[in-house]
Structure 1
Amino acid sequence: MELVPDLLITGGDVVTMNARREVLLGGTVAITGETITAVGATGELRARWPGVPELDATDCVVTPGLVNAHQHLTGDPLARACIPDNIRSDEAIFGWSVPLHQAHRAQDEELSALLACVESLRNGVTTVVEAGTVAHPHRVAAAMLRAGVRGTVGTWGWDAEGVPHGAPAGQVLDRLRAVVDSYPAGGLVRGMVTLVGHGLASDELLTGAADLARETGAGLTMHMSPGPADAEHYLAITGRRPLLHLADLGVLGPHLLLAHAVWLDDAEMDVLIGSGTAVAYCPWAYLRLAQGVTRAGRHGEMVARGGRVALGCDAGNAGDAADILRAAALAAGLAKDIALDPGAIGAPEALEMATIRGAEAVGMADRIGSLESGKLADLVVHDATGPQWIPRGDVAQQLVWSADGRSVRDVFVGGRQVVRGGRCVTVDERALRDEVRHASADLLSRAGIAVRHHWPHVWSH
């Protein structure tokens, strides 16, 4: 007996991102439970399932949920727009981010993650890979589950000599395994083997983490080479550049999602592409932190060579907005300009990185990333009545070049509506706003950080 859908999302232009990249004009998506039952013509599906409740998406564009492959959910969200934008990345990290994380309590991590998840959902992001600066993974997972976002969570650790708060490799690996075991594959939130990376991991920890990722199928993510410092470190310690060293250790491979990978030479590009290692590209962060993406970035080349590239938004005071459509536009624009080639990455490729290619890079393309029967019902309804949508042209160009998260009207994750009319319905946003204001002031005080404003602030009554 055929299952009757719970909901028909009707009348929108459905950007399927299927193998043929079909766009169904005035189409319908049928949802049963957490799964897409069918995608097709509105009249046909209405006739097939008469009387099923409908969500009217007329004058809207319906896309798969967007994938954010690298997002820090803790630390920066409670200090939004506080870290100056005129300091070097090392000062931003050690003068601001590290003190913030050291002052974070468990409840701060949960609140910070909840705020970031609500922002993500409102911008149409339905899957988030947490970037690995989490001390209390269960509290972060609780926030993700409360908001209703899909994603991964890990916990940070390092064993580099002479670095404060380090631990032996075995202890770090035990913590990583515990998170993976607590959040198995198949749930809304799953555990991922997550290292901070850079030069903070010994060869023992790197190989152990890769082995754990392969053994459990959970995957591994870590940071590497957003600027030149990692190359300088590995050349001094090992005599080889970072990705060549990781390749020799057997760490590279389809199980690895490497954040950044901006400063790579030709040999590193070859081993990256050849190994099937995925990259989370966070273009706004490199511009904000002046890390040299316009000088060294080769992500357009990665895509052209068949590399696995997803998009990320990084930290709240680097990427600044958890908005993958903004990142998609910048990724396309940078690729064209760096190559001096308007035929480099365009809107179609950028939208692929935000959806199906992003899902493939994070190891979830069998479940998300396109609107097809049998996949999870993670989807976004974009209101296409605003001036940025008029007149209607190529849908990929309008999504990437004209629109951003502000066009998002409704969002579903696993068939559950989490955003309605542009507002998150799983969280009391007003109460969240009040709680964050108090927690932010308290956190900055405990971290010993005084916020500096560029312009004088004068109370006016």
Structure 2
Amino acid sequence: MSQERDPSIDLLVVHGVVVTMDDQRRIFADGAVAIKESRIIEVGSTAEISKKYQSKRVLDAGGGVIQPGFVDAHVHLSQHLGRGTIPDSWPEEKEHDQWLPYWTTMNEEEGYCSAMLACLEMVRNGTTSFCDSGGRFAGELNAAVVEKVGLRGMVAEVCWDRPPHAEVSVGDTDACLQRLERLAKALPAGPEARVWAGVGMAGMGGGSDRLLVEGKKLADRLDLTMEMHQSFGASDVARYREYAGGKTAVEHLADLGILGPNLMLVHMIRTEPEEVELLARSGTHICHCPAASTRVAMGVSRLGHFPEMVNRGINVALGSDSGNYSDYFDVGRQAYLAATIHREFKGEMPTITAEQALEMATINGALALGQGERIGSLEAGKQADLVLHAYARPEWRPGLDVVNSLVYSAQSVAVDTVIVGGEIILENGRFKRVDEEAEYRRIDRAARELYQRMGWRDRARWPVL
């Protein structure tokens, strides 16, 4: 029996190559997306959808690709103002020589500007949802910036009871748990939420066993996602083994009982085969940040088991990490790396396909954030988070295989219009909610003032005259 539909809708996007990422992975060569309020009503051919609905507004994609917005499953909004300040000559272990004074000197205006810079970049590169791993200040500061731009995101506060430096302590275990619960109540998740709180942990030995266990209980009780860094480099893996009595990180986390489908582990470069099995059996999600590793030589293509994770059925998402690791917030570029760097080391074709990389960049990210029912694909009933690419670009031609073109050549270069929750937040390359030029002036001023107070000198190896 057919269900009657309301023919009156708010927005109709037509004449695009619609990459749905639905269960059948359908692609409509001349497709359309019907939107009412914040949700998708129907996806199909332009000819069919245009006959069914009367829309207040029609957007013609002009033959360009229409895709679900990218999901960046791991970012640090508060670190973006520090981008480009760590020289290539520094080993990764020296990163805190910049991060510590940056973090402790930053004020709330600079925190706002860092988050704004990150959000502007994500939108321009086709990201509609993200997960922030902990801001410098109260989570509401980053949440306000996200709301101002119109993005969708899960935010957190830095949470560690075993901090790397006394200067960045946020209190003991009880204080950390109180911070987590406070933010979860202040920014509740919900079917229409643009910004909500996650249970963010520093990980990599920064949290005690009690903090991890109680944090996971909080996530279970409030139906939230818990995320944490893990197994990034040789030193943190060695320290964790010592702390865990010789066990691997995943074995120890399994013993604590916190593995599961509402946990996302970020990085996971240095994993053992037995850890992959534990992750697969538990339904734990993984966030692969390929640029963050390659930028600072952490060995992800040599040591990472990401192709094996994908083949084992583990849900692997993609993340951009931070301003001085990948240096950019662009999930399209992350997808390119995910699809290529592992085959280069292994000498195999393929290890991760273009189709799998695009899944990692969209629906897998949504699942990792606990939002698979709301976002990540273009389907009736889901939030209308979509990206329109301009076709008038050489990177899209000849475009005979749309997924190959998206992952290997076009990526985010032709992002033209971005829609979040049915609202156009970027149209024809122009932001709708914010004055981009004014924000850049504010960002530039804040960066200069921050680095002057830090006493940070330019470390450029070429003369700047």
Preserved contact between residue 111 and residue 436 of structure 1 (Cα < 8 Å): yes
Aligned to 2:413: 406
| 1:16-415 equivalences in 2 (<5 Å) | 16-50=20-54, 52-75=56-79, 77-92=80-95, 94-160=96-162, 163-164=165-166, 165-166=168-169, 167-186=171-190, 187-239=193-245, 240-415=247-422
> Using the alignment, how far apart are the partners of 1:154 and 1:332 within structure 2?
29
Secondary structure at the residue paired with 2:178?
Answer: helix
Preserved contact between residue 81 and residue 317 of structure 1 (Cα < 8 Å): yes
Preserved contact between residue 128 and residue 152 of structure 1 (Cα < 8 Å): yes
* 1:163 shift after superposition: 4.3
* 1:132 shift after superposition: 2.0
Preserved contact between residue 286 and residue 292 of structure 1 (Cα < 8 Å): yes
* 1:80 shift after superposition: 2.3
> Using the alignment, how far apart are the partners of 1:194 and 1:125 within structure 2?
21
* 1:422 shift after superposition: 1.9
Secondary structure at the residue paired with 2:101?
Answer: helix
Secondary structure at the residue paired with 2:321?
Answer: coil
Aligned to 2:8: 4
Preserved contact between residue 132 and residue 222 of structure 1 (Cα < 8 Å): no
Deviations 1:59-100 (A, max 9, x none): 21000011000011012x2122122122111211x1111211
* 1:52 shift after superposition: 4.0
Secondary structure at the residue paired with 2:94?
Answer: helix
Preserved contact between residue 133 and residue 196 of structure 1 (Cα < 8 Å): no
Secondary structure at the residue paired with 1:291?
Answer: coil
> Using the alignment, how far apart are the partners of 2:130 and 2:378 within structure 1?
18
Preserved contact between residue 336 and residue 344 of structure 1 (Cα < 8 Å): yes
> Using the alignment, how far apart are the partners of 2:138 and 2:94 within structure 1?
25
1:51 to 1:102, Cα distance in 2 relative to 1, 3 A: closer
1:62 to 1:51, Cα distance in 2 relative to 1, 3 A: closer
Aligned to 1:440: 447
Secondary structure at the residue paired with 1:419?
Answer: strand
* 1:454 shift after superposition: 2.1
* 1:268 shift after superposition: 1.6
The size of the alignment, in residue pairs, is: 456
Preserved contact between residue 102 and residue 447 of structure 1 (Cα < 8 Å): no
Preserved contact between residue 9 and residue 55 of structure 2 (Cα < 8 Å): no
Using the size of structure 2 for normalisation, the TM-score is 0.95
Secondary structure at the residue paired with 2:30?
Answer: strand
Secondary structure at the residue paired with 1:160?
Answer: coil
The 10-residue stretch of structure 1 (98-107 or 394-403) with the greater mean CA deviation from structure 2: 98-107
Secondary structure at the residue paired with 1:377?
Answer: coil
1:204 to 1:163, Cα distance in 2 relative to 1, 3 A: farther
* 1:51 shift after superposition: 5.7
5+ residue gaps, structure 1, are none
Preserved contact between residue 234 and residue 242 of structure 1 (Cα < 8 Å): yes
> Using the alignment, how far apart are the partners of 1:204 and 1:47 within structure 2?
59
Deviations 1:105-149 (A, max 9, x none): 122212211110111011000001002243221111100110111
Q: Which residue type is aligned with residue 86 of structure 2?
A: I
Secondary structure at the residue paired with 1:405?
Answer: coil
* 1:431 shift after superposition: 0.6
Aligned to 1:453: 460
Preserved contact between residue 62 and residue 391 of structure 2 (Cα < 8 Å): no
